[in-house]
Amino acid sequence: MDRLQCKACGSHSMLPMELEPDEPDAIDLLTDDHEARFYTCHVCGDNWLSVRRVEEGDCKITFVHQMGLQPLLKRTAHMTTPILLQEETVERWDYFVGDDEVGENRWRDTLSDRRQTLRSICSN
């Protein structure tokens, strides 16, 4: 699989990994009708999990951004089509910091702060 550019540190060291629902350490979001990928940067440590769920024509993609072992940021795209994630196909986004639903601006500010911290750790 090709390396992607990390949005935190800018290096081309982000590696996506497929997760299987029957893996012993797989998160409990996974079932047989879910598709999941874990992305991790081998330079700064930025990582997130994406889970695609299709149920009765409804498609949701959830991104869980992690720092350490605890989920910190989560956003969910409610989509009109399960085919392609683009702004035109997303009906709405739900944003969470911890378990609290927040607005998009607060969520993006928290993500920006998190990535700034990772860049600072890398450059020191």
B/e letters for 55-70, b = 16+ CB within 10 Å, e = fewer, are eeeebbbbbbbbeeee
Task: Report phi then psi at 89, rounded to 5.
Answer: -95, -5
User: Containing domain of residue 58, as a range?
Assistant: 14-123
pLDDT score recorded for residue 93: 92
Is residue 51 included in any domain, yes or no? Answer: yes
Is residue 9 included in any domain, yes or no? Answer: no
- Per-residue pLDDT of 23-75, as tens digits, reads 544 444 444 567 888 888 888 888 888 888 887 777 888 889 876 655 579 99
Is residue 103 included in any domain, yes or no? Answer: yes
**In this structure, are residues 40 and 49 in contact, taking their beta carbons and an 8 Å threshold?**
no
Measure the CA angle with vertex 13, ends 8 and 16; round to 5°.
Answer: 95
Is residue 1 included in any domain, yes or no? Answer: no
Is residue 5 included in any domain, yes or no? Answer: no
How many distinct structural domains can be found in the chain? 1
Write down the pTM of the prediction. 0.75
Is residue 6 included in any domain, yes or no? Answer: no
- Per-residue pLDDT of 65-119, as tens digits, reads 876 655 579 999 888 766 666 566 788 899 999 889 999 999 999 888 888 888 8
